[in-house]
């Protein structure tokens, strides 16, 4: 005895409702998150804000020392999420190498090379380097320029 064929619902009738439901869900989800960047800032960081910066004999400038850091005033720079910083440097020429190290801890412990959108180099000149943290995550930054 052959199986009777079951009628299939027409997708033409259901897709607008499904699409509207999906869009409504995405709209609700997006507004529930609020501002993902929190306290973002874009500003100039002057040399006076980096009291432990140093330039070695080879002309390499470091904004902060490597860990372990005993003095709180030498803790790494607070690199807020969704923020851009123009950081002053004393090289007197445009650096040929810009390297950032990021850490979740202000003392720089367990740091790694800044990469991807957590450390974006926007520009450099003879007195400043502009970097951006395009993630919604607070890091602490150590900058090395040559």
pLDDT above 50 for 31 = no
Per-residue confidence (pLDDT) for residue 39, from 0 to 100: 85
Residue 125: the pLDDT is 98
Q: What is the pLDDT of residues 68-123, one digit of tens each?
A: 999 999 999 999 999 999 999 999 999 999 999 999 999 999 999 999 999 999 99
Q: What is the pLDDT of residue 32?
A: 47
The pLDDT of residue 38 is: 77
Predicted TM-score of the model (pTM): 0.76
Whole-number Cα distances in Å, 32 to 25, 27, 35, 39, 107: 11, 9, 9, 18, 34
80: which 2 tokens?
Answer: 């807020």
Give the tokens for residue 102.
Answer: 């990021």
Domain range summary for the chain, segments of one domain joined by +: 42-145
Is residue 126 predicted with pLDDT exceeding 70? yes
> Which residues neighbour 136 within 8 Å (Cβ) at sequence distance 6 or greater?
36, 37, 38, 81, 82
Token pair 């807020």 in the structure block, residue = 80
Question: In this predicted structure, what is the pLDDT of residue 1?
Answer: 58
Task: Count how many residues are written for the chain.
Answer: 146
Q: Does 34 have pLDDT greater than 80? A: no
CATH of 42-145, one of 2.60.40, 2.30.29, 3.90.550, 1.10.10: 2.60.40
Q: Is the pLDDT of residue 8 over 90?
A: no
């Amino acid at each position: 005895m052959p199986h009777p064929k079951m009628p299939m619902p027409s997708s033409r009738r259901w897709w607008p409702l499904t699409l509207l439901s999906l869009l409504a869900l995405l709209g609700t989800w997006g507004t529930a998150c609020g501002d993902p960047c929190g306290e973002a800032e874009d500003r100039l960081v002057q040399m006076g804000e980096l009291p432990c910066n140093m330039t070695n004999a080879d002309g390499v400038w470091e904004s902060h020392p490597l860990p372990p850091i005993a003095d709180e005033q030498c803790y790494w720079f607070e690199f807020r999420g969704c923020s851009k910083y123009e950081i002053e440097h004393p090289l007197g020429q445009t650096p040929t190498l810009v390297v950032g190290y990021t850490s979740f801890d202000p003392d720089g412990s367990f740091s790694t090379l800044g990469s991807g959108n957590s450390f974006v180099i926007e520009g450099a000149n003879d007195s400043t380097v502009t970097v951006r943290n395009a993630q919604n995550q607070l890091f602490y930054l150590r900058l090395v320029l040559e």
